[in-house]
Chain A
């Protein structure tokens, strides 16, 4: 059963568990690969996570001269292969979301790989396993569809795609604001 990472952005409470969990994933060498941002830092406490969205047509891999960024059969866009990455940083500049991180000392790019050793076997990625507020969830397409039915939508749209993102992605992101009026269980 194919599951996807699904982001319910407005649930985020800014605890940064996802960042901490990311450091603990095998192969991540104790460094995190995602981001948590304050939406309006001087005014309120709303935060939102920003993860690699695993584009169907990833700009990072397209711009890589060394073919170091591979795409897994699950659709996950993997981190740079350590022996192939030549440290040109094209990927960081190509990514429309600014996700890939670069280590100048090691001459190596690293980015979210959806915890591929877990997610290839259907185990949720670290961030989704620990998120206490259900901001990051690991769901099947049917479950994502079932979620859609709970909401009253005025425009027929509920997950972001074009024009909110730059292309088709394997990660689904909800549109903030549409969850109003829904009683949450946590």
Chain B
């Protein structure tokens, strides 16, 4: 609490004084932004699809949970440093490439296995596609009008974007975007479930609540969503209103759950771009030399940040023989530990570490 008061002592008025907390400020700003965008998008609230109001409420509850979780997470000392420095480094030339690699095509998952990569592409892009269709519809940022018979006008943010033939290819993709995304997610989730049920590596560590629940939730959403189409196309809309409520329920439950379970990695993942920028940028500036072997093993900046973070947690690895463990590269740190156990200065012997790659 004392740190809070000292921060608040800063003189000069700021917009932050108007809010009780960071959470209140974030909530106010995002709900205001949603309202303003909807005001513009729906041509002053004249084109609101009230059939979707449940999603609207669900989204606002989700935003509350998201900020609660995200702000608590961002207050941790290491996270705070990374986010602060990562934002500063966003203008690096390599940012778009790293972002596409990490957030678009998931290169690092490909290296964990082609199967896992395919399943993740299907689930990830299926969900993104579904969100890009659903939320604009929910908040009225996108809707369709029919001025001439047989032609739809797509209205985006209140502007007539284009007029398409009702039985044309663009219109077909618009009607079926959610069916396509549902099929992608179902395929991906089935692959993931198959892996979790059959793969011994995965089976060793998985938990029902953490690893299976999000998959079942996604499956629940996708199947109920697809059923809506089935009911409309093949069953003349039989039980469609009921299924629509069930589908809405499944989406809202998942949205509320999202910031607190495995799916929380979706909003948090962009920080991996920050981390890569942070390592590359400060690695170019100055590298730290190991005090024993002289190897460059990490950037000076990152080393200092880690030392500071550990200092906040009252951890300091100063040794009796006058140096700090943070000054040693990792192999030397391990050898130094052996020397503490044995009394012989293993780290001073200029021999590469022995074979550590025994195969089973």
Binding site for B on A (CB under 8 A): 9, 16-17, 19-30, 32, 35-42, 46-48, 50, 57, 59, 62-67, 82-84, 86-90, 92-99, 103, 105-108, 113, 116-117, 160, 163-167, 173, 175-177
Contacts of A86 in B (CB 8 A): 269, 271-272, 274-275
Contacts of B79 in A (CB 8 A): 65-67
**Pair B82/A40 contact, Cβ less than 8 Å:** no
State which of A38, A87, A90 has its C-beta within 8 Å of the C-beta of B302.
A90
Contacts of A160 in B (CB 8 A): 341
Which chain A residue has the least Cβ–Cβ distance from B342? A39
List 18 A–B pairs whose Cβ atoms lie within 8 Å, in order of A's numbering: A24-B360, A26-B201, A32-B356, A32-B358, A35-B334, A37-B334, A38-B354, A40-B342, A59-B315, A59-B317, A65-B275, A83-B265, A92-B330, A93-B306, A93-B326, A107-B102, A164-B340, A176-B341
The B interface, classified by DSSP as helix, strand, loop or mixed, is helix
B114 on interface, CB distance cutoff 8 Å:
no
**Pair B317/A62 contact, Cβ less than 8 Å:** no
B119 to chain A, nearest CB (A): 13
**Pair A20/B358 contact, Cβ less than 8 Å:** yes
Binding site for A on B (CB under 8 A): 73, 76, 78-79, 81-83, 102, 108-109, 111-112, 200-205, 262, 265, 268-269, 271-272, 274-276, 278-279, 298, 302-303, 305-306, 309-310, 313, 315, 317, 320, 325-326, 328, 330-335, 337-338, 340-344, 346, 349, 351, 353-360
The A interface, classified by DSSP as helix, strand, loop or mixed, is loop
Which chain B residue has the least Cβ–Cβ distance from A50? B334
A126 to chain B, nearest CB (A): 9
A51 to chain B, nearest CB (A): 11
**Pair A48/B271 contact, Cβ less than 8 Å:** no
State which of A65, A67, A87 has its C-beta within 8 Å of the C-beta of B108.
A87
Beyond A62-B309, A166-B325, whether A37 also contacts B360 by CB under 8 A is no
Contacts of B279 in A (CB 8 A): 88-89
State which of A22, A41, A63, A113 has its C-beta within 8 Å of the C-beta of B354.
A41
**Pair B330/A98 contact, Cβ less than 8 Å:** yes
**Pair B268/A84 contact, Cβ less than 8 Å:** yes
B36 to chain A, nearest CB (A): 33
**Pair A93/B302 contact, Cβ less than 8 Å:** yes
Pairs A-B, 9 closest by C-beta atoms: A26-B204, A98-B333, A107-B108, A86-B272, A88-B275, A19-B358, A23-B360, A98-B330, A27-B204
**Pair A40/B346 contact, Cβ less than 8 Å:** yes
**Pair A27/B201 contact, Cβ less than 8 Å:** yes
